[in-house]
Chains A and B, each alone.
Chain A
Amino acid sequence: MDRSARPTASERPLCVAALFECFARGRAVTRSEVDGGEKSFTAVHYRIEEPIVRPLFIADKETHFGGQGDAFCPFWKFIVAAGRFLDLPMSDADRTRGPIHSIRGGRDGPPPPEGPMRRLAAILAADISGYSRLMQLDEEGTHARVTRHRRELIEPNLAEYHGKLITYTGDGFLAMFDSPVEAVRCAIVIQQSMVGRNASLPRDQWILYRIGINLGDVVVVAPSEVYGDGLNIAVRLEGIADPGDVYVSGGVYEQIKNKLVCAYQSLGDRQVKNITDPVSVYRVLPDPAALSQARKKRWPVALLAVLVACNIAIFGGLYFLLQQRQTPNQAPTVAARTESPAVTANTPPPLPTPAPAQEPEEKPKGGSPASAPAQAPQESAKESTKESTNESAASAPVTTPIPAQLAPDMVSIPGGAFSMGSDDDPSEKPIHRVTIKSFAISKFPVTVREWNACVAAKGCSYPPTGKDDAPVTNLSWTDTQQFVEWLSKVTQKPFRLPTEAEWEYAARGGTKSKFWWGDQLQAAMANCKGCNEPYETSQPLNVGSFKPNPFGLYDMGGNIHQWVADCWHDNYQGAPSDGSVWVEHDCLSRVIRSGSWKNDPSYVRPSNRDHYDATVRYPTHGLRVAYSQ
């Protein structure tokens, strides 16, 4: 036996890992594929419930390592002795896959851990906010959904992130992880998946988990019996977490802060119930990069994406071919185009003081046009609406029609195909052919006057500043969703933000040049820094201050940035070719188009694109609205 042969770097962890799997953990249901240099073997697969072990360690040591096990791993002697005692086969690779021996058969062998065991673990506690309310609304449906979440979401994710379920509680669950990083990843994925699942449902049926994670020393009596301060703190953290949020303790934060690319918001030291010392609490705000990494592993999503992509490719291709045959060079024409400016309202809009609707539960006051008492009680579940960003303010249904002059003037844009993108900036590449179905888009960016109508009806929470005919600005993407939702309700039309492809198609107005009027910058065409003299730096100009493009649209480039529906992607690799919205199920960064009065002329180009955090307001960001026809 040549003891001088030392294990190589890649081989040493192998034997240690094998030993760990077999004797130290003893509880995992694991299947691992280990590559031991030129020899690889698939093995370590056993479960304590049926106390069996495939004794591959010894067989592999003997057959694959040529008797150099002592050199490879200092524990081999021990394993060999244990193996001999248990009468495990010592060689013959075929036999090792056949017989299965009980490790508990020999009581003098390495004993399995008995009685309570202390260990350090990341404990994840989760529960559904407003569970009783949901059960009250729809008992069977809610139960079915919760059960489905367990099967489709919680259990697969726990397995994927190497977590162990401790127990299901009535409306939530407790799980234990070896690694805080995996625990937080798992929590983020669960929360993000829930966002996707909730998206198609009405607000009052949303199932939102609150998740708390703590790293602490716990007593493990049995897989489903875990006790300790560490666990209690996790439960308390979950108790103070907002619905849809993940709160972690300082201990977890210390472990994950440099490993998980998330934003962490410190909430300071919090006193939690029945725990003497205050606990430092952090809120995890997942970052798109971290999410995409986590999602990479999720093959069902990937598979779905591939299927969808294939469908798009096939149908898109067919449609494109047909389109090419039927209308080789369809010149875009403008239907329903009126030259008079839309905002000709002489009567001032009925504006009560623009009260920020920060208390979504607040019932509309007597004189307010908004009154729909029938559905209001369902919204009163405070915990689920508290601090929720999107629909909270818009959730009070408003059915009173708005005066016609306050609805944005829409221009109907015929369908067609165009080359999207340019070679001027890496983010605009590759240039790709996109087919657009006909749609309607507002002739101007949404004005302060139009936005104020939404605020007055308590549909929008942000009180704008500026002149009535100025474009509304300082909006987050989230704010814009309140507006389109409110507008859809009052007009009974499916208002939304334009998709990024629709925006560029509309902005080009059928042209292929750098700017819609040609390849050179011209004065008096758009509002930007360097476009015109004199230059007004402090605020945007009123909508419609410059010439409309060939589609009759004003301010498609310059004056204010305009949010579109799409999530941000660094370039057009993988972009849809049918003009549809390009989104992941929740992205932090959304696309802004048009450039603002503060940007240089290159931002006025129709192909220019930029992005911004969806929840953040900035003084140059506004919107225009669209709907499909």
Chain B
Amino acid sequence: MRGTRAILAAALLTGLPVAAHSQGTHAPGDAFLYIIWPPDGTTVKGPFWCRFGLRGMGVTQAGSSAPNSGHHHLLIDVNDPIDPNEPIPQDKTHLHFGAGQTEARIDLPPGKHTLQLVLGDAKHYPFNPPLISKKITIMVK
């Protein structure tokens, strides 16, 4: 009886996040999203190329529902968490790369900034589980 309860509890616990992420397309468990350049803590001078890294999945254009592939979104100085049930916002701090770009020229005002990547599916929703890179901090001179 206790065993059954434990299984039920486990099922509930594991089931809940799945229910919460019902919008997103499934992503393989070993997929990994990261920023190739600049490295965390870098100081850059003026505009720079930010390069996007993705392992275990492919980059495609927005609108393409090719399996195991998505497109990049670069979040600049964003502190709000990503809502898994909403399309990734589109504004001046959420840059979209729906044409399948894997790098971008970024021009930021001097000061400290954070960069973070989020992979979006064909309809710009985060994947399930969400594919979000480590948030890095850079200094712009």
Residues of A that sit less than 8 Å from B by CB? 261, 263-266, 285, 287, 289, 425-426, 537, 561, 570, 588, 596, 598-600, 603, 610, 612-613, 615-621
Contact = CB atoms under 8 A, between A and B. Distances in A.
B99 A570 contact: no
Interface in B84-103: 86-87, 89-92, 96-103
A616 B58 contact: no
Interface in B118-135: 123-124
B105 interface: yes
Contacts of A613: 62, 96-99
A610 B92 CA distance: 7
A289 B106 CA distance: 12
Nearest to B123: A619
12 contacts: A261-B49, A263-B102, A265-B61, A287-B101, A561-B90, A596-B90, A598-B89, A598-B91, A599-B91, A615-B61, A616-B63, A619-B87
Nearest to B91: A599
Contact of B96 (A263, A561, A603, A612): A612
Contacts of B59: 265
Contacts of A426: 109
A261 B97 CA distance: 13
Contacts of B97: 613
B116 interface: no
Contacts of A617: 62-63
The 4 A-B pairs with the shortest beta carbon distances in the complex, nearest first, are A616-B98, A263-B100, A616-B62, A613-B99
A561 B90 CA distance: 10
A291 to B, nearest CB: 13
A285 B92 CA distance: 24
B91 A610 contact: yes
Contacts of A621: 90
B25 interface: no
Most buried by B among A263, A537, A598: A263
B100 A285 contact: yes
A361 B123 CA distance: 27
Nearest to A595: B91
A289 B124 contact: no
A285 B62 CA distance: 14
A411 to B, nearest CB: 28
Contact of A620 (B61, B90, B102): B90
Contacts of B101: 263, 287
Contacts of B62: 613, 616-618
Contacts of A612: 90, 96, 98
A618 B90 contact: yes
Contacts of A266: 58
Nearest to A476: B63
B65 to A, nearest CB: 13
A283 to B, nearest CB: 9
Nearest to A603: B91
A590 to B, nearest CB: 12
Contacts of B87: 618-619
A285 B99 contact: yes
Given A570-B107, A599-B91, A612-B90, A265 B60 contact: yes
Contacts of A588: 99
A269 to B, nearest CB: 13
Nearest to B105: A289
Contact of B99 (A263, A425, A599): A263
A600 B91 CA distance: 9
Nearest to B83: A537
A574 to B, nearest CB: 17
B92 A261 contact: no
A264 B99 CA distance: 9
Contacts of A616: 61-63, 96, 98-99
Contacts of A610: 90-92
Contacts of B100: 263-265, 285
Contacts of A263: 99-102
Interface string B4-23: 00000000000000000000
Most buried by B among A264, A599, A618: A618
Given A598-B89, A610-B92, A618 B99 contact: no
A426 B107 CA distance: 11
Most buried by B among A265, A598, A612, A617: A265
A139 to B, nearest CB: 38
Contacts of B103: 261
Contact of B124 (A261, A285, A537, A619): A619
Contacts of B91: 598-600, 603, 610
Contacts of B92: 425, 610
A570 B95 CA distance: 14
Nearest to A614: B99
Most buried by B among A603, A610, A617: A617
A615 B124 contact: no
A289 B47 CA distance: 13
A331 B102 CA distance: 49
A598 B87 CA distance: 11
Contact of A618 (B58, B96, B109): B96
Contacts of A596: 90
Nearest to A600: B91
Nearest to B101: A263
Contacts of B61: 265, 615-616
A537 B58 CA distance: 31
A6 to B, nearest CB: 33
Interface in B46-80: 49, 58-63
A561 B63 CA distance: 19
Nearest to A598: B89
Contacts of B99: 263, 285, 287, 588, 613, 615-616
Nearest to A561: B90
A598 B101 CA distance: 24
Contacts of B60: 265
A267 to B, nearest CB: 10
A615 B123 CA distance: 13
Nearest to A426: B109
Contacts of A620: 90
Contacts of B109: 426
A180 B71 CA distance: 26
Nearest to A621: B90
Given A600-B91, A613-B98, 4 more contacts: A265-B61, A287-B101, A289-B105, A598-B91
Nearest to A425: B92
A64 B102 CA distance: 49
A152 B49 CA distance: 34
A596 B98 CA distance: 19
Nearest to B99: A613
A616 to B, nearest CB: 3
